[in-house]
Amino acid sequence: MLKIPPRIGPGPVTTPCAPHTQISQNPEPEFHRAFKDRAFEFPFVTRQPSRISVPGAEALCLKHGHGCGCREAFMIGNEFAHIHPPKDGSLHMMLPEGTVAQIDELDWAEPHPMAAAGIIPSTAVMVYAPRDNAEIEIVLRLLRLSYEFACGKLGRVENVVF
């Protein structure tokens, strides 16, 4: 079970359409770097340019044979999340349906505008850039949830305690 506190303060300003970016509360370079250093440590994950995001975004992709989750666990191909460049710092990831509203209510994320419009799966969210070491830990926990969803360890709807 995952348990996280509400995010402190108001949510950042984001763009209302694609490209979906975070335009306020962007991370300091050292926090962005520290987060990325740990984000790519999951087993069987490769780091590569995102095939669906802005230039400079780095994708977390599962190696062939390790992506066993449902279609809604992936953005494109075997990409289940990507991290935007430092000036933005946010990331998009796929999360089990049952967690999307809860994480949004706790102000850690928001639905992707294209998901809200029904164009892409409702499991697509923007998780806000971590602003300090404590937030890095929480965002890594959310990224682990996305990873486990992509690995097929979680169903489409997962009961998670927040």
Question: Which sequence spans correspond to the domains of the chain?
Answer: 29-150
Residue 155: pLDDT band by 50, 70, 90 thresholds?
A: low
Per-residue model confidence as pLDDT tens digits over 27-85:
999 999 999 999 999 999 999 999 999 999 999 999 987 777 789 999 999 999 999 99
Q: Does domain 29-150 have CATH number 3.90.1150.30?
A: yes
Query: Helix 29-39 to helix 133-150 angle, to the nearest 10 degrees?
Result: 30
Tokens of 126: 């923007």
pLDDT for position 153: 86
Distance of alpha carbon 149 from its chain centroid, rounded? Answer: 12
- Mean pLDDT, to the nearest integer, of 125-153? 96
Q: Choose among 96, 80, 83: nearest CA to 39.
A: 83
Question: Does the pTM exceed 0.75?
Answer: yes
